[in-house]
Chain A
């Protein structure tokens, strides 16, 4: 799960969490130039892939 409000994600039991930079753009960051924003998005999805390949016992942030 990619989201900004990590504490709420943990509380409702989301188990694999990747923190993002803003509520209205989980896989973006409009403050960056386009190429850097795309690199940031790619880094988030790579982190998500690492998360789904990792065993966890409860809410865990990646």
Chain B
């Protein structure tokens, strides 16, 4: 019988939604929430002995909280640590990846589950990451892949792309008959013939962003405020989505000295908006930007702000928003933008 420790966020551990995102690390005996289905899929040879949880805000942002999570995981003496599925939830994905990476560093088998676009993917270190669906609607299939990978990992078998493995895969030395030069020529010839021959090593994809040149003097520049925090006028007149946004909106701030409570509110579904709605300047720093404009440190503050919701947003959509924002700001003669991100 192998001992399994499962990591979940506050939501899946049954402690609450975004209002509980600051829940400190804790542990419950046995499987909890999606862990129950996972236990079923793992079968009777493997037992989820403990479920460790932590609120997403803490787990993603506080190294101390992550250390406490790992301590709770280790206290349960796991043979394997499973984390997630985290789907496209950014903070949860970061937490799952770091839990799995921490276990792997300690020499414990670990498998995390998240969507290939989850920003946590690169934090998984030497741990195995298995692709999950994009949302909880695909929880069943995601748990099946996670359980299958866990069983293989415990049996000492290699977990590969065919099992849904994503992210970095440690390299393995093998002996082959032909040297690298002749294999490279073969690959080149195959590609010249239009064949889709894969490289032997996955080519890392770096999202290189060319830095814009500096603004010589902000006191003479027109500067825009932009945000992915989901902050909109109360009532959400433009119907901005709370998750998986497909568009962005713009709202006038000309003549406004502050982003007043009761006038603006966030519709973002990926973090607790309580603090932001108490004082929307916590998302859009309009009060101090206006003050700096009045004092001359900012030339002119652009007359409107641009907003979308960065919550499970697909990479192609996010990229499109960026291109459209840049074009829009350039058209309006803006030389710099301050982006606040949650």
- A pairs with B: yes
B282 and A26 contacting across the interface, CB-CB below 8 Å: yes
Which chain B positions have C-beta within 8 A of A48?
A: 338
Given contacts A12-B119, A49-B298, A54-B214, contact A22 B285 (CB under 8 A): no
B214 and A14 contacting across the interface, CB-CB below 8 Å: no
**Contact pattern, B 211-241, Cβ under 8 Å of A = 1, otherwise 0:** 1111111100101000001000000000000
- Residue A4, interface by CB 8 Å: yes
- Residue A30, interface by CB 8 Å: yes
Interchain pairs with CB closer than 8 A, number: 127
Which chain B positions have C-beta within 8 A of A52?
A: 214-215, 218, 221, 223, 336, 338
Total interface residues in chain B, CB < 8 Å: 52
A42 and B288 contacting across the interface, CB-CB below 8 Å: yes
| 8 Å CB interface, B22-68 against A | 57, 60-61
Residue of B at shortest CB range from A20? B340
Contact of A2 among B212, B214, B279, B339 (CB under 8 A): B339
**Contact pattern, B 281-296, Cβ under 8 Å of A = 1, otherwise 0:** 1111101110110000
| 8 Å CB interface, B255-283 against A | 271-276, 278-279, 281-283
B275 and A24 contacting across the interface, CB-CB below 8 Å: yes
Cα–Cα, bound, A54→B216 (Å): 8
Report, as a range, how many residues of chain A touch the other chain.
Answer: 35 or more
- Residue B297, interface by CB 8 Å: yes
- What are 20 pairs between A and B in contact, CB < 8 Å? A2-B340, A3-B342, A8-B90, A13-B207, A22-B57, A24-B18, A26-B283, A27-B283, A28-B275, A28-B276, A28-B282, A38-B288, A41-B282, A41-B288, A42-B288, A42-B292, A45-B292, A52-B215, A53-B216, A55-B211
Given A22-B57, A23-B91, A52-B338, output 9 extra A-B contacts at Cβ < 8 Å.
Answer: A23-B60, A24-B275, A24-B342, A25-B276, A28-B283, A41-B287, A42-B292, A45-B338, A58-B211
